[in-house]
Chains A and B, each alone.
Chain A
C-alpha cells in the first residue's frame, strides 16, 4: 500500500508570495500524481495531473513537478482565492493535506 505524505501541514504565506508544497510517496509512483484544491464547504478541484499537467481552466501560476517519490506543487504568486487546503493523490491514496493560510 502506497502512503502519501505531505509537508508542511500548514503554510503561512503573504498574498503575492510564492508557495511551495511537497508530497512524498512511500514507493515510486512514476508520474502518476495529481493535486487538488479544496476550499471550506466545497468539493475538491483537480489542479494538476500526471505530476505536471494543468487541468482545464487552471491558472498558469499553478505548476507541478517531480517524479518517482518526490513531488512539488508551486503557486508562483498567491492570490486571495488560493488560500485553501491542497491534497496530493496517487491512484487510491491521498496525502493528509497542506493548509495554505494567510500570513
Chain B
C-alpha cells in the first residue's frame, strides 16, 4: 500500500507561484505514476498532469500547459507540482494521487493541500 503525505496549506498573491510536495512511502516509487488533481471549493475533480518517475516523463492537461510543472525526486520518493501565474480561480485543494493498478487510475491519494490565492 502506498501512503502519500503532502505539504501544508499555502496563501499566495496573484501572479506568484506555488510548489506543493507529495512524499510517497510503500511500494516502489518508480513503478507507479503520480498525478495531481485539484478541486475548487464546492466543485468537482480536475486532472492537472502526471509524471512517470521511472521514465522521468510528465504530461499535462492542455488547460495548464505552460503554467504547471510536475517533477519527481526518486532519491526521496517525492513528487512536486509547481503552478505559476496564480489567479484567484486557482484557489483549490490540490491532491496528489498514485497510479498503481494502472498508470491511469488514482489508487491512493494524499490528504490534499489548500492553496488560497488572494491579494
Contact = CB atoms under 8 A, between A and B. Distances in A.
Given A34-B106, A43-B109, A49 B45 contact: no
Nearest to B101: A49
A36 B101 contact: no
B88 to A, nearest CB: 22
B109 A93 contact: no
Interface residues of A, number: 24
A89 B106 contact: yes
A39 interface: no
Contacts of A95: 44
B47 A92 contact: yes
Interface of A: 1, 32, 34, 36, 38, 43-46, 49-50, 53, 55-56, 87, 89-97
Interface of B: 1, 37, 44-47, 50, 61-62, 95, 97, 101-102, 104-112
